[in-house]
Amino acid sequence: MKFTINRNLFIENLNNVMRAISSRASIPILAGIKIDLYEDQLVLTGSDTDISIEITLPSSDDLTIESTGSIVLSARFFSEIIKKLPGKDFSFEVISNTQIKIKSENSEFTVNGLDANNYPRLPEISTESAFVIGGKVLREIINETQFAVATQESRLILSGVHFTFSADAIKAVATDSHRLSERSIALNNGPQVATDLIIPGRNLQELSRIIGETDPEITVCPGENQVLCKIGNISFYSRLLEGNYPDTDRLLPTESTTSVEFDLADLSSALDRASLLTHVGRNNVVDLNLDVENQKVILSGTSAEIGNVEEEISFKSLTGDNLKISFNPDYLRDALRASVTDAIMMKFTQPLRPFTVTPNKSDIEFIQLITPVRTF
């Protein structure tokens, strides 16, 4: 096999394939990148069995194909070589069954590879139930929920985001049992048959990075234990988590006794200052004192090693009963980072009951739930 390609074009696509390759691969050959050369296209494949990424590059002025073939190369070394080549273009040629030559200007590398026949096949997923979704919408809903998945594998099902796709909406829920994030966005051409998928949070993070800041059209193809997302010339495969996701709707409170509206920037800044101290101590907890009678909101934090902080926060409205509640500031900080409005509503029922964080606009379906901390 032999081809010549523009180095920047190759690196751009190589970087995306590398997202699926682990340096700690359980199967040695999966530490490599598979390169398939056909008469009219070059295909790059990377996989760690959890995520698989396949990228197709058609022949063009930037890619000249001379002869076909396949090989697997150590992803880490191959990537470093290509990034450090001196020229605008480079040539790639297999000179024996498992050895290649890379040339660019005055630089020449001979690299050992592996037999591509030993590389695992990617899953075959039918397009029968496929549907299309905008990249911007999918990236938005990932970024607003993925951070709340469980990082411990004691409850594997909670390490994923639960998606429900219907003809007119997409709903995503993530929870680690201490906090929850649920977002719903309207769709124009969703699947005619409701589709449930539980996708690992880490996989969604990589998918979000591949989508980037653009708004590509994404074709979603659900399979039995994998889902395929087609983004332009990229095919992104993700393992699905098996099992029944908990019924999280029953956790959401339907009424509240105290509510407060904050400017997002004001609350975020105060929370950052309070966290400076609480992060030092073993108990990372802040207290929020809502004094409705005197129309005051006090945020405070204590560290036995450093000292304490207390700050009165400005707010837009405060109604209901007086209340003091303690919680992990990192959970609220993540919730505020995911916010889609410049102001948020926080609603409370009791000091030891979960409270909600929602946009201050009723037409946005986005609710986050945070469990307080018992301090006595």
* pLDDT given at position 184: 96
With a pLDDT cut of 90, the percent of the chain lying above it is 84
Taking residue 53's Cβ as centre, other Cβ atoms within 10 Å add up to 26
Residue 89: CA count within 13 A, CB half-sphere: 10
Residue 295 pLDDT > 90: yes
Average pLDDT over residues 54-66: 96
pLDDT 10s digits, 194-232: 899 999 999 999 999 999 988 999 999 999 899 999 999
Residue 6 pLDDT > 70: yes
pLDDT 10s digits, 86-140: 999 999 999 988 899 999 999 999 999 999 999 999 999 998 889 999 999 999 9
The single-letter code of the amino acid at 55 is I
**376 pLDDT tier (thresholds 50, 70, 90):** low
What mean pLDDT, rounded, does the chain reach? 93
* pLDDT given at position 281: 66
For the chain, which domains are there? 2-118 (3.10.150.10), 131-249 (3.10.150.10), 252-370 (3.70.10.10)
- Taking the model in full, what pTM does it have? 0.91
> What is the pairing mode between strands 355-359 and 307-312?
unpaired
pLDDT 10s digits, 232-282: 999 999 999 999 999 999 999 989 999 999 999 999 999 999 888 888 767
Residue 351 pLDDT > 90: yes
* pLDDT given at position 8: 96
CA nearest to 69, candidates 93, 102, 103 = 93
- 75-84 and 7-18 helices, crossing angle to 10°: 150
* pLDDT given at position 203: 95
* pLDDT given at position 154: 79
Spell out the SS3 assignment of the chain.
CEEEEEHHHHHHHHHHHHCCCCCCCCCHHHHEEEEEECCCEEEEEEECCCEEEEEEEECECCEEEEECEEEEEEHHHHHHHHHHCCCCEEEEEEEECCEEEEEECCEEEEEECECHHHCCCCCCCCCCCCEEEEHHHHHHHHHCCHHHCCCCHHHHHHHEEEEEECCCEEEEEEECCCEEEEEEEECCCCCCCCEEEEEEHHHHHHHHHHHCCCCCEEEEEECCCEEEEEECCEEEEEECCCCCCCCHHHHCCCCCCEEEEEEHHHHHHHHHHHHHHHCCCCCCCEEEEEECCCCEEEEEEEECCCEEEEEECCCCEEEECCEEEEECHHHHHHHHHCCCCCEEEEEECCCCCCEEEEECCCCCEEEEEECCCCCC
Give Cα separations from 171 to 105, 115, 131, 186, 245 (angstroms): 52, 43, 15, 9, 13
* 348 or 275, greater pLDDT: 348
* pLDDT given at position 302: 82
